[in-house]
Every structure is written in C-alpha cells, then in structure tokens.
Structure 1
Amino acid sequence: MLSESVPTPYSLLPTPHPSKIMQARRIARELALLSISQLPAKQERLEEQDLQAVVVAAVRTLTSEAQDALESAAAELQQSSARLLNSEIRTTDVQSARSMVTEAISLTQTAINRLGVAMEVPEFIQLANQREVRSYTLEIIRSLKDNQQKLDQLLSQALVDWQLSRLAWIDRDILRIAVTEILFLGVPDRVAINEAVELAKRYSGDEGHRFINGVLRRVSDQLKAESTPKG
C-alpha cells in the first residue's frame, strides 16, 4: 500500500536532482491523464487527495478501459462466429468474419496492455519522488479544470476538420494537459509537445501520436502569433 511520510516543510526538503524532477513530472502527467475523470472537480476537495487516492483513480480508469475493450472483443467474436455459421461459406461473409476476428484480437491486445500498465502504476510511483508526483499531478488537474473553457477554445481553433467533443477522451485530455502546461505551468512548448506525443504513443491509437503532434504544433504557432507585436 502506498503511503506518504509525515509532512516536512517543503522548504526544508533537499532539492531533487533535475532528472528526478523530470521523472516525477512524467509520472504526474500520466497520473493526471488517467485520474482526472475520477477525482473531484471542486478545488478544496481536490487538495485533500493523497497520492494513494490519485493512484487508485488511475488504476480504476485503466481497468475500466480494459473491461470495455474485452467486452467489445467478446461481442466481435460472437458476431463473427454467427456470421461464419450462417454464411454457407460465402466468400464475402468469410472475409467479413475474418475482419471482425482481427478487430477482436486488436481489442483484446488493448485490454491486456491496459491491465499491464495498471499493474505498473504502483511500482513506478514508488520509484519516484512521491511528494513531487502528487504536487504536480494536482497542479495539472487544478489548472486544467480552472481554465478548461480557454483550453478548449484554443484547441478547437487548432483542429482541422475535427470537433473537440468528437475526439476520443484520451486524445482530448492529452491535448488539454499539454496546453495547460504551456499556458499555465511554464513548460516550454517543445517539452510539452514531446511529452504529449509520448503519452499518446502509450495510450492512444496507432496514429494518435501524429495527430496530437500536429494539433499541438498548430496551437504553439497560434500562441506565438498572438504574442508577436503587430506593426
């Protein structure tokens, strides 16, 4: 079970090595992405959350995703099996059933990956600076929730032939976290974009990281254009 030590005034703690801070923040981004939908929206209740509560929320999200993927895979397999039984070996039906089986295998692999990550979460938290992880996780979530309208407006302007509300929740929240870091947490554009791409490679679809990269680069260009003096 994860637990935090007796609080020590932050100013009295040794300054972590920059590489440790980077590791903690990388984990914090991941926890923010996975726990944001499970944690309270009100700031005062959010501040009450300890690291264990955040980890539990993240694991619940991952296991729920895995369960949904497995249920979808089972439905695909049932449909493909019924199609094969009723096809009388018609070529088109066999090909359709084969496609459905392939999709079911893909969904099952996604579920396995989600469960694998869920089991990793407690371990990599133990290897990080827990105080820094909790602090930055809640800072991301608080800033995102407080400024979501502005974030969504910026992202909507940067989307081409897409609506923000139609994106998969994982892609939408990866984008929101990256822009939150750029606008409100002082993270350089390049760093925020690279970290978002890595999150997308871990959690999004096959082309998700390219999509995330393109949208965030347009947001970055848009922000730079707005800050450039006109004259």
Structure 2
Amino acid sequence: MQARRIARELAILSLAQLPNKPDRLQAQQLQDVVLAAVRTLTTEVHDTLETAAAELSRGNDRLLRSETRAVDLQSSRVMLQEAIDLAQSAINRIGSALEIPEFIQLANQKEVRAYTMELLTQVKANQTETDRLIERSLVDWQMARLARIDQDILRLAVTEFWFLGVPEQVAINEAIELAKRYSTEDGHRFINGVLRRVTEQLKSEQKVGRSPSVQDLQ
C-alpha cells in the first residue's frame, strides 16, 4: 500500500508536465518523472507565497485606513486571516517539497517505479473516456474550470477503479488523501462527491449489462 501511495503522489505531481501521448510517455525515465514532480511543487510554493504576500499587504493597508471604523476593521481581519491561511498552505507545500529526496530514494523500489509508470501511461491513454465520464458527474460545473490538480486527482482515481481494477473505495480514499494534501481546503469533499457520482454512473450502466463507451459519454 505504501509503495502505491508514493507512486500516486509521483504521478499526480508530474502529470501536468509530461507528454500527453502514451507512446512518448513510455519513453520517459523515472528521473524525468521525479524532476517534473519537483518543478510542480516549486511552482505551487512560489505562487502560493506570492498570493499570501499580496493578501497580507492588502489587509495591512486596509487596517491602516479603517482605524476606528468597525466594518472596515472586521473585513481587514478577514483578509488577514485569509492571507495567513495562504501562507500556511505555502508552508505545507514546502514541507512536501522537502520530502522529495525521500521520494527519489523510494522511487527506486521496483513496485513504486512500475506502478508510477503504469498510472501515468493509463491516465494519459484513457483521458478522453475518463474526462467525459467525470464531466457527466459534475453538478453545475465543468471539467475545464477545475484546478489542474483536482482534474488529475479525479482522472487518477477513475483510471484506477475503471481500468486498473483497484477497488472503488480504495481509489476514492486515496484520492481524498491526495486532495487533502495538494488541493484547496474543501477540495477533498468536492473530489469525494464527484467520485461517488462517477461510481453510481458505472453501477447504473452495469445493471443494464454494459459499461459506458466513448459514444455513450459524448
């Protein structure tokens, strides 16, 4: 289980920076995957820290202007709290980045290496089908509007239980843990809800004796 969990994290962090074509992806070396994961974490830390700094500055300016006006003072406090939350998120990202050396060492394990590459290859190969299935499970939302990390977590989970035979509950639980680690504060609840609806769709199709095809999902 630990090996597969590490493989999932490597896959999620590297998906956005690797080739989309399965044949080109298969030619990637493990060090390329790890490098892509490091770049993703570095970019996220940088962006989150910049946003936090901007929010802190805005909150501080508003506090200075508000002085004794209670309404403005309260809104300033809210802004500062949001900035603090962003800063905490950035710190968490840095913590994840610091774990990369351990990832590199563990990635040399045969099971980790094999499952990472299988996940990456299968997610890319089946992305059209999984995206259409996920799209049908979104309520008042669109796949393209989701944060990239949320898109990839959903793709990974659906690929695992639809194409790789991983038990649904295991795939969903692992996706929730990934969302808690890399998505927004409420991201894991959103991910859970979408995946539950995806499994309901698949079960509904199975009751009528077939699985949804590409044509069904168009």
So what's the TM-score if we normalise by structure 2? 0.88
Q: Would you say 1:213 and 2:192 are equivalent positions?
A: yes
- Corresponding pairs, count: 209
Q: Would you say 1:158 and 2:134 are equivalent positions?
A: no
Contact 1:171-1:212 within 8 A present in 2 as well? yes
Picking from 85, 107, 119, the partner of 2:64 is 85
Name the structure where helix makes up a greater proportion of residues.
Answer: 2
Aligned to 1:141: 120
Return the offset for 1:29. Answer: 0.8
Aligned to 1:32: 11
CA distance in 2, matches of 1:212, 1:88: 42
CA distance in 2, matches of 1:70, 1:129: 32
Aligned to 2:177: 198
Q: Which moved more, 1:53-62 or 1:78-87?
A: 78-87
Q: Would you say 1:223 and 2:194 are equivalent positions?
A: no
Matched residue type, 2:36: A
Which runs of no fewer than 5 residues in structure 2 stay unpaired?
Answer: 210-218
Return the offset for 1:125. Answer: 4.1
Matched residue type, 1:225: S
Return the offset for 1:42. Answer: 3.0
Q: Which moved more, 1:81-90 or 1:65-74?
A: 81-90
Q: Within 5 Å, give how 1:38-77 maps onto structure 2.
A: 38-77=17-56
Q: Would you say 1:172 and 2:131 are equivalent positions?
A: no
For the pair shown, the structure with the greater C-alpha radius of gyration is 1
So what's the TM-score if we normalise by structure 1? 0.84
Aligned to 1:183: 162
Contact 2:55-2:79 within 8 A present in 1 as well? yes
CA distance in 1, matches of 2:84, 2:160: 36
Q: Would you say 1:95 and 2:74 are equivalent positions?
A: yes
CA RMSD between the two structures: 1.7
CA distance in 2, matches of 1:125, 1:213: 29
Aligned to 1:11: none
CA distance in 2, matches of 1:46, 1:224: 31
Matched residue type, 1:145: K
Once superposed, which parts of structure 1, at least 4 consecutive aligned residues long, lie more than 6 Å away?
none
Contact 1:51-1:130 within 8 A present in 2 as well? no
Matched residue type, 1:112: I
**Secondary structure of the structure 1 residue equivalent to 2:144:** helix
